[in-house]
Amino acid sequence: MFYWGTFTTCYIEGLGLTAFKKVSEHIISAILSASMLLLYRNRAYFDRGVIKLLFFSIIATIGSELAFIFYVSVLGFSNFFGHILKILAFFLVYRALIETGLVKPYNLLFFDLKRNEASLRKAQEELDSRATQLDIANQELESFSYTVSHDLRSPLRAINGFSRILMEKHAPQLSEEVHYYLRLVNDNTKRMGELIDDLLDFSRLSRQPLNKENVDPVALVRQVMEELRIEQEGRKVEIIIGDSTAGSGEVLPDCQAAPRLLKLVFTNLLENALKFTRKREAAVIEVGYQMEGDARVRAVRLLAQPRL
């Protein structure tokens, strides 16, 4: 246009706009429509009032461009209406950006902050709802544990009571073997009572802190093996307590733990070791820990195997 000094004719007096101008107006309207679509996709980054004003501003601009297509005279109604829409579009942009930015500047500057605050509030509400549901579930679990423990204690008391009656009132008529089995019954009812207490403690884990104290794992393992001696009858079972991986023969180190719960862990592991070596007359059960560098890993490894 500046170099050749020519420009395509857009308006002819008495005829109106040329085809070039009309096509250009449609292209401009299409670009404005695309901008409105992009604005809608990014509406989350705008204030709701601002987004409405910008939408109406773009619509008014598209209307003004289309109105210009139909005017024949610069003094015609179509031209006049197109300029009215253009003024309205500018006014809406002013309301959306200039006036809002001056009257409510914090709404624009801290819109992201307000949106994040709303998201955090919603997340907190969901977290509170989940916490309430978890608390209800814990209460139900504790209630269930109390009910189960009560129902289990009744037959235990009966078993323990009748076995004591046999041992105390009919001792002369009973053989030593029967006395031995009655003592096993009493020991196992006592152990069952401890397991019930452990069940109650487990139900309270999420509501109360663990009462940790210094525990000697070696004494705990020996106690468990003594309680499981009936599982070892008629078999040759060797228990090795120490650091088998390092080869130093050092016993298990003391640790901080809840004694009854740690005992329950040893009981389950040692019972499994005895169970899976039941078909072997001779078995070796090894309890130890491992070293990783200079750090002593407080883990227990159980091996159930025949000695080679």
Q: Are residues 15 and 102 in the same domain?
A: yes
SS3 letters for 78-138? HHHHHHHHHHHHHHHHHHHHHHHHHHCHHHHHCHHHHHHHHHHHHHHHHHHHHHHHHHHHH
For 65-110, the pLDDT digits (tens) are 888 887 766 677 877 888 899 999 998 888 877 766 665 655 555 5
Domain that holds residue 246: 213-305
Q: Are residues 59 and 141 in the same domain?
A: no
Q: Are residues 36 and 50 in the same domain?
A: yes
Query: In the prediction, which pLDDT does 173 show?
Result: 80
Q: Are residues 119 and 67 in the same domain?
A: no
Residue 5 in any domain: the answer is: no
Residue 146 in any domain: the answer is: yes
87, 109, 131: which is the final residue of a domain? 109
Q: Are residues 184 and 260 in the same domain?
A: no
Residue 208 in any domain: the answer is: no
109, 130, 165: which is the final residue of a domain? 109
Residue 1 in any domain: the answer is: no
Provide the CATH number for the domain around residue 227: 3.30.565.10
| Angle 49-52-57 from CA coordinates, rounded to 5° | 125
Q: Are residues 192 and 221 in the same domain?
A: no
Query: In the prediction, which pLDDT does 104 show?
Result: 62
Residue 195 in any domain: the answer is: yes
Answer whether 0.75 is exceeded by the pTM: no
Query: In the prediction, which pLDDT does 53 show?
Result: 85
Q: Are residues 135 and 187 in the same domain?
A: yes
For the chain, residues with pLDDT lower than 70 are 1, 72-74, 99-115, 201-210, 243-251, 290-308
Query: In the prediction, which pLDDT does 271 show?
Result: 82
Query: In the prediction, which pLDDT does 31 show?
Result: 92
Q: Are residues 260 and 296 in the same domain?
A: yes
Residue 234 in any domain: the answer is: yes
Nearest to 25 by CA among 56, 58, 55, 64: 64
Residue 299 in any domain: the answer is: yes
Q: Are residues 102 and 128 in the same domain?
A: no
177, 203, 229: which is the final residue of a domain? 203
Q: Are residues 139 and 222 in the same domain?
A: no
Q: What total of structural domains would you count in the chain? A: 3
* DSSP string for the chain: --SS------EETTTEE-HHHHHHHHHHHHHHHHHHHHHHHTGGGS-HHHHHHHHHHHHHHHHHHHHHHH-SSTTSHHHHHHHHHHHHHHHHHIIIIIIHHHHSHHHHHTHHHHHHHHHHHHHHHHHHHHHHHHHHHHHHHHHHHHHHHHHHHHHHHHHHHHHHHHHHHSGGGS-HHHHHHHHHHHHHHHHHHHHHHHHHHHHTTTTS----EEE-HHHHHHHHHHHTGGGGTTSEEEEEES-TTTTS-PPPPPEEE-HHHHHHHHHHHHHHHHHHTTT-SEEEEEEEEEEETTEEEEEEEEEEE---
Q: Are residues 62 and 140 in the same domain?
A: no
Average pLDDT, the chain: 77
